[in-house]
A = this chain, B = another copy of it.
Amino acid sequence: MEAEHHHQTSNAGGIIGGLYVKVMTDDQMELLRQQISVYATICQQLVEMHKAVTTQQDLAGLRLGNLYCDPLMACSGHKITARQRWTPTPLQLQVLERIFDEGNGTPSKQKIKDITIELGQHGQISETNVYNWFQNRRARSKRKQLTPALNVVEPEVETEVEVESPKEKKTRAEGFQVQPYENSSPHRIKDMYIQSPDIGFDQLMSKIEVAGCYSSYFL
């Protein structure tokens, strides 16, 4: 094995047989395949959820069997402790993120109150929750910014020959790990091909079919 540095993040180009082509490493191919599969499956899942919600909308209320759905219930037993930590519902989270993205980094006291009231429409929440959320959001956003460029260590050819670990078992596929850290807005996908926000369900379905057709080429 030569000391060829393997840059995984760049697609190189070259001339092969007189054609200019992009080249991909197996890792990149696998990554790609994963990505497509994930998207495909997400779409399926979302479709399923949509169907379920749409067709059994009133059943949903009846089927609530959550064990910890009622933090307010003064149930006699202190054993079944409801979840003690507030967790934003997806809706609440959406609103919070939107407000956060608006940049008005100053959630004043009054603003907190307003937000709390608004979010109260979507679930149990308190001003403290909102306050804490913004505090944490800001702090962690900042932290991530401070650790942006992971010094890409180029691990030597991994000639670690240590054998002192009796539990030796790992057959690590060493190398490339993608850590889904949200830098910036993760939902931002550029280069949209569907712009209209009010597209119909059926159209989406057909789009999925098309996408699946493309996928078969690579999977």
Contacts and interface: CB of A to CB of B under 8 A. Distances in A.
A177 B3 contact: no
B23 A16 contact: yes
Interface string A151-179: 10111111111100101101011111111
Given A36-B39, A38-B207, A51-B178, A202 B71 contact: no
A121 interface: yes
A124 B46 contact: no
A44 to B, nearest CB: 6
A20 to B, nearest CB: 7
A82 interface: yes
B42 A208 contact: yes
A124 B36 contact: no
Contacts of A103: none
A21 B120 CA distance: 34
A43 interface: yes
Sort chain A's interface into a size bin: 35 or more
B17 A4 contact: yes
Contacts of A173: 65-67, 83
Given A23-B21, A30-B3, A189 B167 contact: no
Contact of A60 (B57, B156, B186): B57
Contacts of A38: 82, 193-194, 207, 210-211, 214
A136 interface: no
Contact of A66 (B49, B74, B89, B117): B74
A191 interface: yes
14 contacts: A31-B214, A35-B218, A39-B40, A42-B207, A42-B208, A53-B176, A54-B90, A55-B91, A70-B123, A89-B172, A90-B168, A91-B162, A122-B160, A124-B176
The 5 A-B residue pairs whose C-beta atoms are closest, nearest first, are: A187-B212, A39-B39, A69-B69, A65-B173, A35-B214
